[in-house]
Chain A
Amino acid sequence: MSPGVAIVGAAECDLGVTGLSILGLQTQAVTRALADAGLTLADVDGIATTTVSRFSATQLADYFGIEPRWTDSTFAGGSAFEMFVARAAQAIEAGQCEVVVISFASNQRSARSRKLGGVHEPWIPEAQFEEPYDMLYPLSYYAMAARSYLHRYGGTREQLAEVAVAAREWALLNPKAFRYGKGPLSVEDVVGSTMISSPLTAADCCLVTDGGGAVVLTSLERARDLRQKPVQVLGYGERTTNTSFTAVDDLTRPGAVGSGADAFARAGITPADVDVLEVYDSFTITAALSVEALGFCGEGEVLDFIADGRIRPGGALPLNTSGGGLSYCHPGQFGVLLLVEAVRQLRGECGDRQVPDAQVAVAHGTGGILSTHATVVLGVDR
């Protein structure tokens, strides 16, 4: 990546139960990220966002009084924001725009807008061939992936619960986390929680909260003149695999295999070089499959790999250091908050949960039913 692009601002909007509107939360996220960078709306000439309205980036541009030179409203669920980083980096390097804000916000908990069965679009094949069976969307897909994985490799629900237990350990170190101060989670708590779509219980599922965030990108050259230590975009990759429950042959090997390989190759690193890993944890199995698919361990090994406390605070592979979607915040699309936490870790701003001397971080988003997969490698500017 010859010219280089960096993230220069990062922020959350209010999280949890806010009682605020989507655009009110978007405004918090964007203005806080810009202030973090030492920039204002007047500097922004690129906008990428989703789920504001049908014309999401257009809506935000209008709201902020901007006529952007570049926008992206790609809807790809939770991984869209990692995809946006790739597209924004390309647009900045190509000279189409100079300062891009990537943002997301949702008030789904306050608005009680989340539905167990998902969104009904009667014209898509899934409406005729899948929805009549009353599966939960997206949960039942992940549940079947978990069943397949445990069956094939002989793992247990107790081993899988480690993802949620570790996430809670991190959340107890993050005052912004929804579960901060709520005490540790035990394996028994997770497997004994209400069964929703077996083998996954309520505690295997992410939170349903308001929240969101924003990151600001510009050229590395300009970034070096701004107030924060630049966090360089070192690599990216993505895969798009399915909308249906039936298209993917092997539920245990998600598109993260390809997106990760592309991102690591572009960055010229391997998983062994990664100091902090932020992966989508809509469910415990999402994170487990992702860690394995990204190449941090071999096929079939992830449950043994994480069993020794490796992904907990102080472990060899710090995973989801904010507390993740499981214990920190999950506003429906968590991808932007993976980026925010990765940036903060690389800047050394994370207080009690700071990973010492973090130089390289990976943010990996997953959307839909293991539908979209996007990996971003970030590094401290040297």
Chain B
Amino acid sequence: MTAEPMWVPGEVPPADEVSTPYWEATRAHRLTVQECTACGHRQHPPRAVCTRCSSTESLTQPETAGTGRVDSFTVIHRAPRADVAVPYAVARVRLTAGPIVLTRLDGRDDPEAWTIGDPVVVVWTDLPDGRALPSFRPDPADPTKES
């Protein structure tokens, strides 16, 4: 079992009225994806409108499985801020629920060992203000790729 991610996120801006349900759920380490109850569309990041049916009244933020697959990734060797250790992997993860999220990939000693299509599961880094930031690590439930 992989421990908590070993990195310290930069400052995460406060939630606004649209993103508050998403961030509140992170306090309990629940990953949510915005869903429109009028048409069933799921979208991320959360918005004030459904991009499929234009509804502004039918948007909910239900919990999702927290699993997905690596859509693509890059290993960064030159940090954009002073207190970030390199190298680390940043990825697009396509959630099982549908939408793509940007994230870090944790849980492998060599970040270049990741492959597009790898199954992943969410893991959380607690923020000083009580919210938490999701990242992803190899999915132990899927035995096809474990390093």
Interface of A with B (CB < 8 Å)?
115-118, 122-123, 125-137, 140, 143-145, 147-148, 151, 194-200, 244-246, 249, 251
Chain B nearest CB: distance from A250 CB in Å? 10
Partner of B72, one of A136, A148, A195: A148
Cross-chain contact A245 with B80 (CB below 8 angstroms): no
Whether A144 lies near B92 (C-beta < 8 A) is yes
Check: B128 CB closer than 8 A to any chain A CB: no
Q: How large is the interface on B (under 10, 10 to 19, 20 to 34, 35 or more residues)?
A: 35 or more
CB distance from B44 to the nearest CB of A (A): 7
**Measured CA separation A246–B68 after assembly (Å):** 14
Q: Is B13 an interface residue (CB 8 A)?
A: yes
8 Å CB contact of A129 from B44, B71, B79, B92: B44
B78 touches A133 (CB 8 A): no
Instruction: Give the complex CA separation of A144 and B72 in angstroms.
Output: 5
Q: Are B76 and A140 in contact (CB under 8 A)?
A: yes
Known: A128-B23, A151-B116, A198-B77; 15 extra A-B contacts, CB below 8 A, are A129-B19, A129-B102, A132-B10, A133-B102, A133-B135, A134-B9, A134-B80, A134-B88, A134-B90, A134-B104, A148-B116, A194-B78, A246-B45, A246-B102, A251-B72
User: Do A134 and B78 touch across chains, with their CB atoms under 8 A apart?
Assistant: no
A246 touches B77 (CB 8 A): no
Chain B residues closer than 8 Å to A130, beta-carbon distance: 102
Contacts of B101 in A (CB 8 A): 129, 246
9 CB contacts below 8 A, A to B, read: A128-B15, A134-B10, A134-B80, A134-B84, A140-B76, A194-B78, A195-B77, A197-B75, A197-B76
- Cα A278 to Cα B88 in complex, Å, equals 34
Q: Which residue of the partner chain A has the closest CB to B100?
A: A246
A122 contacts which chain B residues (CB < 8 A)? 13
Cβ–Cβ contact A132 & B78, under 8 A: no
Query: Are A132 and B75 in contact, CB atoms less than 8 angstroms apart?
Result: no
By a CB distance below 8 angstroms, the chain A residues around B88 are: 134
B contact residues around A135 at 8 Å (CB): 74, 76, 80, 90, 102
Question: B21 at the A/B interface (Cβ < 8 Å)?
Answer: no
Indicate whether A117 sits within 8 Å of B102 (C-beta atoms), given known contacts A122-B13, A245-B92.
Answer: no
Partner of A196, one of B78, B100, B103: B78
Is A136 a contact of B44 with CB atoms below 8 Å? no
Enumerate chain A residues within 8 angstroms of B23, measured Cβ to Cβ.
128
Tell me the smallest distance from the CB of B99 to a CB of chain A, in Å. Answer: 7
Are A147's CB and B102's CB within 8 A? no
List the A residue with the shortest CB-CB distance to B80: A117
Within 8 Å CB of A197, what residues of B? Answer: 74-78
Is the Cβ of A129 less than 8 Å from the Cβ of B45?
Answer: yes
Q: Which residue of A lies closest to B135 (CB)?
A: A133
User: At the interface, yes or no: B112 with Cβ under 8 Å from chain A?
Assistant: yes
Choose among B13, B71, B79, B99 the residue that contacts A134 (Cβ–Cβ < 8 A): B79
Q: Which A residues touch B13, using CB under 8 A?
A: 122-123, 127-128
- Chain B residues contacting A127 (CB-CB under 8 Å) are 13
Name the B residues within 8 Å of A132 (CB-CB): 9-12, 133
Please give the distance in Å from B2's CB to the nearest CB on chain A: 18
Closest to B91 in A: A144
Interface string of B5-29 (1 = CB under 8 A from A): 0000111110110010001000000
Residues A136 and B100 in contact, CB atoms below 8 Å apart: no
Whose C-beta in chain B lies nearest to the C-beta of A117? Answer: B80
B80 surroundings in chain A (CB, below 8 A):
115-118, 134-137
Which of chain A's residues have a CB closer than 8 A to the CB of B102?
A: 129-130, 133, 135, 244-246
| Chain B residues within 8 Å of A145, by CB | 72
Known: A115-B80, A133-B104. A147 touches B44 (CB 8 A): no
Q: Give the docked Cα–Cα distance between A53 and B60 (Å).
A: 40
How many angstroms between the C-alpha atoms of A319 and B116 in the bound complex?
A: 31
| Chain B residue at minimal CB-CB distance from A122 | B13
Q: Does B124 have its Cβ within 8 Å of any Cβ on chain A?
A: no
Nearest-CB distance from B7 to chain A (Å)? 8
